[in-house]
Amino acid sequence: MKMPRKQGSNASKSPLGDVLYNVFTRGAAGVVILIAIGIVFSLAGNSWPAIEKFGAHFLVDTTWNPVIFEFGALSSIAGTIVSTIIAMIIAVPLSVIIAFFLVELAHPWLSKPIGYAIELLAAVPSIIYGMWGLFVFAPFMADHIQPALQGWFGKLPLFEGPPMGIGMLSAGIILALMILPFITAVMRDVFRMVPSVVKEASFGMGSTTLETAQNVTVKYGFSGLLGAVFLGLGRAVGETMAVTFVIGNSHDISASLFAAGNTIASTLANEFTEAAEPLYMSALIELGLVLFVMTLVIQILAQWWIGRTQKKAGAGL
């Protein structure tokens, strides 16, 4: 194998193959940008009738009435955020613990099969999680977890209402189960990439396993861990089928986590097929646009934060 030539000065002299290669790779990369721009334009264009009709009111209104064509996205936006937060609260700490255990503590004969199992879970289609959630998990929630929560925190409005087994909390937990393998798999790789020299140095200083984990391994790979978290977050925000099955699909905002709600993705999945009227369709597409913007904002924040921590930490991944 020959080493690739230096770019720049002799790029103009490169043989035809290199030129084609250059054009092709650039073109392929450019297509990605074109597709992203195309999506924005078609979303914005198709949602224009709704944007014109409802304006900014769309974002703060909870009405969702397809009969008289009054649409507001607030319940869907709130549901998307709440279900994602529940999922992250559960999934992130667990992922860190599992990944750390697999890399630092477990024997290879244990960490290998668990690693495969995690990758297997990551490959399960979301509709399977949804059906499992509806037929297996929701009854379990209704019979055991929800009554227990009401017993412990009876007075909190967070856990009010009949224990139906479906609703915002169930959706959040199912989401957590779905993104857990993703986050864990990436975090495991991050932990593995921390050089053992660094850890050994820490042990040499007399640190315990826990101290090394806290002060060295996690700090060293912090930006990588953040990346894993945002990967999971991105998946949770847009998850459709699994949520649709268990969230209860109501366009109300409730203080109780036991109550039914909806997310942007679940509303789209439910209502797109039968939305024949132009304004209804347009409102649904505007919901899609809102989701797109939310994802974009998360991405930008993620990049900014990761960049900042990298600067702060100096070295690391």
Partner 1 sequence: MKIIKLSIATVLMLIMGCGKQTPPKANQEAPKSATSDASATADTPSEPITLTGAGATFPFPIYSKWAHAYKNVNGTKLNYQSIGSGGGIAQIKAKTVAFGASDAPLKPEELDEVGLIQFPMIMGGVVPVVNLEDIAPGQLKLSQKVLADIFLGKVKKWNDKAIAADNPNVKLPDTDVSVVHRADGSGTTWIFTNYLDKISEEWKSKVGTGKSVEWPTGVGGKGNEGVAAYVQRIKGAIGYVEFAYALQNKMSHVKLQNKDGNYVDPTIESFQAAAANADWKNAPGFYLVLTEQPGAASWPITGASFILMYKNQDKPDVAKEALNFFDWCFANGAKAATDLHYVPMPKEVVELVHSLWKENIQSGGKAIWE
125 binds partner 1 (CB under 8 A): yes
As measured in angstroms, the least distance from the Cβ of 70 to partner 1 is: 8
Q: Is 302 within 8 Å of 208 (Cβ atoms)?
A: no
Write the CB contacts of 91 (distance below 8 Å, at least 6 apart in sequence). Answer: 175, 176, 177, 179, 180, 183, 232, 236
127 binds partner 1 (CB under 8 A): yes
As measured in angstroms, the least distance from the Cβ of 11 to partner 1 is: 33
Residue in this structure with the two tokens 């904002």, named with its chain if needed: 297
76 binds partner 1 (CB under 8 A): no
| Sole window of 16-24, 49-57, 185-193, 220-228 interacting with partner 1 (rule: CB under 8 A) | 185-193
123 binds partner 1 (CB under 8 A): yes
Interhelix angle 168-192/74-100, nearest 10 degrees: 40
237: number of Cβ within 10 Å: 20
As measured in angstroms, the least distance from the Cβ of 67 to partner 1 is: 4
128 binds partner 1 (CB under 8 A): yes
Which whole-number Å values give the CA distances from 248 to 75, 134, 240, in the listed order?
Answer: 13, 10, 13
Under rule CB under 8 A, which residues in 240-279 are in contact with partner 1? 244-245, 248-251, 260, 262, 266, 269-276
As measured in angstroms, the least distance from the Cβ of 231 to partner 1 is: 13
Site string for partner 1, 100-119 (x = CB under 8 A): ----------------x--x
Rounded to whole angstroms, the Cα distance separating 243 from 233 reads 14
Rounded to whole angstroms, the Cα distance separating 214 from 197 reads 16
As measured in angstroms, the least distance from the Cβ of 80 to partner 1 is: 16
Q: Which residues pair with 64 in a beta bridge?
A: 71
As measured in angstroms, the least distance from the Cβ of 120 to partner 1 is: 6
Burial (CB < 10 A; 0-12, 13-18, 19+), residue 49, is: middle
Determine the size of the site formed for partner 1 (CB under 8 A): 45
Point out which residues bind partner 1 (CB under 8 A): 63-68, 116, 119-120, 122-125, 127-128, 134-135, 138-139, 142, 162, 164-167, 185, 189, 192, 244-245, 248-251, 260, 262, 266, 269-276
